[in-house]
Amino acid sequence: MKTTARFDSDSYVINGSKTFITGGMTSDFFVIGARTGDDGLAGISLFFVDAATPGFSRIPLERKMGWWCADQATLYFQNMRVPAENLMGEENLGFIAIMENFNLERVALIAGALGMMRVCLTESIDWAQTRQTFGQPLIRHQVIRHKIADMSARIDAVEAYLNQICWNVNSGDMPVAEICKAKFFATKALEFCASKAMQVLGGAGYLRGQPVERIYREVKVMAIGGGSEEIMRYDRWPYKTVSSTKL
């Protein structure tokens, strides 16, 4: 449901809903994006909202495939009156702030994907060194070593890409195009590593409680959260900076 905010006297009246909100059941305060203007990127404003405000309600999202350690919720706003001074920034320019916040969130997701890839590699090597097949450790089979080498190469590539991005950010630059490319590159690499690790571990990796089993379930939310792979590949967003590499 589209969330709208209508100015009325000294406050804004907000109606609508937001879903897949991380921390939605435990947070006391929220930054809510609502449409205050025409359709399009210009027309969205941000509001600081107390969860105790009349008209605010929430329900948990349950039975998720992954991210069990994080609570997600759907938030509902029914004629919720928010004081005008709770408007954050300028009216109708909230989308810019949202996109700027996404930049570092995506960097964090790249780092998270890299960490998960490393776990896949470590678990695969440990298992391949101890698991015996046909009278020898699994790692002695060349087909298994090739999987490990392919995983390691992707880990090195993602780490190098992330290090370069972090260096740019720490130098005062925000390489938006590179962050977007690295985000979908990292999640595709994670998908590859999770699949190969599951193949190396076989049935052992399919058991609940095994790190690779968990990572295998988490892959898609990493690819969707913070901006889907399709959005990351889109080159027409006006908020993006020009890439250092001319396409």
| Pairwise CA distance, residues 71 & 86, whole Å | 26
pLDDT, residue 199, reads 96
Q: Which domain holds residue 18?
A: 4-88
Give the per-residue pLDDT at 235.
Answer: 61
Q: 80 with 196, same domain?
A: no
Task: Answer for the pair 113, 190: CB distance below 8 angstroms, yes or no.
Answer: yes
According to the model, what pLDDT value does residue 241 have?
42
CATH of the domain at 41: 2.40.110.10
Q: Are the C-beta atoms of residues 226 and 106 closer than 8 Å to each other? A: yes
Residues 8 and 57 in one domain: yes
Q: Which amino acid is at 75?
A: L
Give the tens place of pLDDT for each residue, 213-245. 999 999 999 999 898 888 898 865 544 443 433
* pLDDT tens-digit profile, the chain (247 residues): 689 999 999 999 999 999 999 999 999 999 999 999 988 788 999 999 999 999 999 999 988 898 888 899 999 999 999 999 999 999 999 998 988 889 999 999 999 999 999 999 999 999 999 998 888 999 999 999 999 999 999 999 999 999 999 999 999 999 999 999 999 999 999 999 999 999 999 999 999 999 999 999 999 999 998 988 888 988 655 444 434 333 3
Note the pLDDT of residue 247: 32
The answer to whether residues 58 and 157 belong to one domain is no
Name residue, tokens 């690499």: 189
Rounded to 5 degrees, what are φ and ψ at 206?
A: -85, -10
- What was the pLDDT predicted at 243? 40
Let me know whether 165 and 49 are in one domain.
no
- CB-based burial label for 231 (10 Å; 0-12, 13-18, 19+): middle
Q: What is the count of structural domains for the chain?
A: 2
Same domain, 161 and 65: no
- pLDDT of the residue at 47: 98
Residue 138 and residue 185 in one domain = yes
Identify the CATH number of the domain in which residue 111 sits.
1.20.140.10
User: Is 247 inside a domain boundary?
Assistant: no
Question: Phi and psi (nearest 5°) for 50?
Answer: -85, 130
Considering the domain boundaries, does residue 48 fall inside one? Answer: yes
Is residue 35 domain-resident?
yes
Cβ burial of 28 (10 Å; 0-12, 13-18, 19+) is exposed
What pLDDT score was predicted for residue 213? 96
